[in-house]
């Protein structure tokens, strides 16, 4: 079996989810920090790349929602940070 960049992207994306979840449970990563939604956004984007090769509508919808929620988390973090520095 050759190297497939789509599968590699999907595995890396899934790894992002697992790492973010485990790091949060361990207390190494705070949910309210920018890094948690950033890692989740990266995971969603990487899984979406893999879905370009192996289309699955329910999975695409899930990843789009995951990415949107992650973007919301990033925007919320940066908005709160800007308000604190005013």
The pLDDT tens digits for 6-18 are 999 999 999 999 9
> Is the torsion defined by CA of 12, 15, 20, 26 positive or negative?
negative
Predicted structure pTM score = 0.90
Res 2 pLDDT > 70? no
Reported as a pLDDT band with limits 50, 70 and 90, residue 1 is low
For the chain, how big is the Rg over CA atoms in Å? 15
Spatial contact of 38 and 74, defined as CB atoms under 8 Å apart: yes
Place of tokens 């973090």: 77
pLDDT tens, residue by residue, 40-59 = 999 999 999 999 999 999 99
Mean pLDDT score, 15-41:
96
pLDDT above 90 as % of the chain: 87
């Amino acid at each position: 079996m050759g190297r497939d960049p789509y599968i590699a992207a999907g595995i890396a994306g899934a790894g992002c989810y697992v790492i973010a979840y485990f790091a949060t449970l361990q207390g190494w990563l705070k949910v309210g920090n920018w890094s948690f939604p950033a890692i989740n956004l990266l995971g969603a984007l990487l899984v979406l790349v893999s879905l370009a090769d192996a289309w699955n509508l329910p999975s695409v919808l899930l990843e789009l929602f995951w990415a949107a929620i992650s973007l919301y988390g990033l925007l919320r973090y940066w908005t709160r940070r800007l308000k604190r520095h005013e």
